[in-house]
Amino acid sequence: MTEPSRNYVNGEWVASETGETAEVTNPANPSEVVATYQHSNENDAAAAVDAAVAAEDEWRNTPGPERGRILREAGTLLAQRKDELTEILIAEEGKARPEAAGEVQRAIDIFHYFSTKAADLGGTKKGASGPNTNLYTRQEPVGVAALITPWNYPIAIPAWKLAPALAAGNTVVLKPASIAPGVVIEIARALDEAGLPDGVLNVVTGPGSSVGSEFIGNEGTDLVSFTGSSQVGEMVYEQATDAGKRVQTELGGKNPTLVADSADPAEAADIVANGGFGTTGQSCTACSRAIVHEDVYDDFVAELVDRAESLDVGPGTDHEMGPQVSESELSSTLEYIDIAEGEGATLVAGGGVPEGEEVETGHFVEPTVFTDVDPDMRIAQEEVFGPVVAVIKVSDFDEGLAVANDVDYGLSASVVTDDHTEANRFVDEAEAGVVKVNDKTTGLELHVPFGGFKRSSSETWREQGDAGLDFYTIEKTVYDNY
């Protein structure tokens, strides 16, 4: 048994004061303990905030290019360890190897991207009304950022919060999801080796209700960036705003792909299957509703069923679709399958756990398709977070658009059509933070803004790219009369 992994606080690897640890098991083989992490409490979290507060001045006064150099070096170290990180990610979270490797590469790219941004942070020179006046703006760091992240993209999401926070000169306390914290520990290790000063980044593992809540409530933190479920995120938003913090929350989704009558059913099925079954349906942007014109409905369903039934499900190490991350996520998906059947939807593919030696003990579920779904059914309204696609038949484009928008969420939405006017109307009218034409709902490049509408987001600040830096900076206007 390897030593339990430790928290990273003030540049040291430390044990929690609780003396307790928590095991992470392999979702493809739950009897295998992958690693053990600190089960920390409020005091551990408070000590991390103290370290981040103490490091503030040094880091904000470190020149941007030097901050950038450290981020670049950390990215390079992560790149050298890409294979090792991919293995940790597969073993803890379960996703298929190409997905895990792609996610690790994304984190590397994010560190390199924000390393250049650190040097470019500046302000704008303005024209002054009076004589002999320099009038300009500066972008300054906000202070201490509390970052709370989910398990489903355990390295990319922490990276897309952490890199801009550090690039802009903030110090950070970070609580990764307890299910898959290993890759965040590796980010801390890389930054430490790259020369990040003590206290600038502090990582504490443990429950959200104690560690996460202390980060939000502690008067030392100034910013809260949270990604996770809408249920938890809405509580976090309230707690953070009550405490007077700048806050962004990016939350759940119920993402539609609208398939118009001009769509090629096979192409549309590829798009929906990729969006719905990729990452085992455990993406916030996963397609969980296919809203299909009646003229192409039967052909589309046949094609989608074919995609679902031909997917190779098994351990992420060497199969196309990995397991769900945990027993409780699997149970929740199976419960939604029961609910859908109870509500009268027709199960046309999957619906159970697969059979076979390799999938006997893991949290595996079959890619699942329901037809005859009514837009009001729970399967069409609530986030399932598993590889389940609900197919809804509509008789024209306007009805499809109305159904697409008729949910509480608004993260990502796509349309498959050959009609230019329909495509543009969809872009205009879809209530979602990301809208795509002839593309899957999942996937976004690292330099474009990311965030949702409605219950998918606090709608306060976007993440990624230049928009991502805005959250971590505050503008100062300067009059310099000479």
DSSP symbols for 337-363: HHHHHHHTPEEEE--S---SGGGSSS-
Stretch that binds ligand NAD, among 7-15, 39-47, 52-60, 174-182 (CB under 6 A): 174-182
What is the smallest separation between the CB atom of 153 and ligand NAD, expressed in angstroms?
A: 6
Whole-Å CA distances, 83 to 159, 319, 349, 400, 442:
17, 17, 35, 43, 24
**What does the DSSP 8-state code read for residue 399?**
H
What is the smallest separation between the CB atom of 145 and ligand NAD, expressed in angstroms?
A: 14
**Any contact of residue 160 with ligand NAD (CB under 6 A)?**
no
Q: In the complex with ligand NAD, which residue's Cβ is closer, 37 or 59?
A: 37
**Any contact of residue 473 with ligand NAD (CB under 6 A)?**
no
Q: Give the integer Cα–Cα distance in Å for 241 and 47.
A: 22
Pick the binder of ligand NAD from 5, 149, 202, 414 (CB under 6 A). Answer: 149
**Any contact of residue 383 with ligand NAD (CB under 6 A)?**
yes
Is 284 among the residues known to form the active site?
yes
What is the smallest separation between the CB atom of 91 and ligand NAD, expressed in angstroms?
A: 18
247 torsion bin: left (phi>0), alpha (psi -120 to 50), beta (else): beta
Q: Total number of residues binding ligand NAD (CB under 6 A)? A: 30
Q: In the complex with ligand NAD, which residue's Cβ is closer, 265 or 452?
A: 452
Pick the binder of ligand NAD from 148, 183, 187, 407 (CB under 6 A). Answer: 148
**What does the DSSP 8-state code read for residue 250?**
E
Stretch that binds ligand NAD, among 36-44, 99-107, 115-123, 246-254 (CB under 6 A): 246-254
Task: Tell me how far apart the terminal alpha carbons of the chain are, to the nearest angstrom.
Answer: 68
**Any contact of residue 39 with ligand NAD (CB under 6 A)?**
no
**Any contact of residue 27 with ligand NAD (CB under 6 A)?**
no
**Any contact of residue 177 with ligand NAD (CB under 6 A)?**
yes
What is the smallest separation between the CB atom of 191 and ligand NAD, expressed in angstroms?
A: 20
Q: Give the integer Cα–Cα distance in Å for 291 and 452.
A: 20
Burial bucket for residue 1 (CB in 10 Å: 0-12, 13-18, 19+): exposed
**Any contact of residue 212 with ligand NAD (CB under 6 A)?**
yes
**Any contact of residue 460 with ligand NAD (CB under 6 A)?**
no
**Any contact of residue 387 with ligand NAD (CB under 6 A)?**
no
Active-site pick, 55, 172, 284, 301: 284
Neighbouring CB atoms inside 10 A of 85's CB total 25
H or E element, residue 371? strand 368-371
Q: Give the integer Cα–Cα distance in Å for 477 and 365.
A: 55
Q: Are 285 and 411 in contact (CB under 8 A)?
A: yes
Q: Give the integer Cα–Cα distance in Å for 32 and 173.
A: 30
**Residues belonging to the active site:** 284
Residue numbers at the binding site for ligand NAD (CB under 6 A): 148-153, 157, 175, 177-178, 208-209, 212-213, 227-229, 232, 235-236, 250-253, 284, 383, 385, 411, 452, 456
